[in-house]
Amino acid sequence: MFSSTADAQAGKALTAAVITISDSCASGKREDLSGPAVAQFLQELRFEVTVRETVPDDPTKIQNLLIRLAREVQLIVTSGGTGIAARDFTPEATVAVCERLLDGVGECMRAEGTKKTPLAGLSRGVCGVRGRALILNLPGSPSGALESLKAVAALIPHAIELLSGKTEHKH
C-alpha cells in the first residue's frame, strides 16, 4: 500500500538514538538499566542504534539534545521523565520541539500498559515529528519502557517510512 523508501529498498537499517533522561543516572547515582534494554530491543527490530546519551531532567538540555539528534537519526527514543513528579519534564520538552504530535501513539502505549497496571494511565509520554525524525517518549522503569515500546513497535517503522519517503496512497 505504501511505496518503500530508497533506504528500505537498499536494505539499509533505520537509524535510532536512545536517550536516558534521569537526574540520578546522569549523575552516576543510579545505573541506567532502561537505556540498554531499549537499545537492544530496537536492534532486534533491525534499527541501527547510532547514539546513546544520558541527560539530567533539565528541560533546556533535553530540548537541545532532541533538536540536534533530529538532524542525525530517524528515530529518537527517550526513557524517563514522563511521570508527574516535579522534575518530570520530558513530555513538555518533546512537545516544544515537535512540529506535529501523534496522539494515538501515547494512547496506544497507555491502553496496552493499563492491561498490566492501572498506573500506566499516569504516564504522560508523547510521540511527535520533528523534520523527518520521529520522537517517542517511554517511561523510566525498564519494564515500563520495554512494554510501552513493544505496544507501538508495529507502528514505528511505518511512521518513519512515511516521514522519509513518498506515499503511493495516504491512509
- Please tell me whether residue 171 binds its own copies under the rule CB under 8 A: yes
The amino acid at 129: V
Query: What residues between 68 and 127 interact with its own copies by CB under 8 A?
Result: 80-85, 88, 100-108, 110-111, 114, 118-124
Task: Report yes or no: 130 and 93 within 8 Å, Cβ to Cβ.
Answer: no
Binding footprint of its own copies, residue count (CB under 8 A): 43
- Please tell me whether residue 6 binds its own copies under the rule CB under 8 A: no
- Please tell me whether residue 167 binds its own copies under the rule CB under 8 A: yes
CA distances in angstroms from 102 to 29, 48, 50, 153, 159, listed in the order given: 34, 23, 24, 14, 10
Which residues lie near its own copies (CB under 8 A)? 22, 80-85, 88, 100-108, 110-111, 114, 118-124, 129, 139-141, 144, 152, 154-155, 158-159, 162-163, 167, 169-171
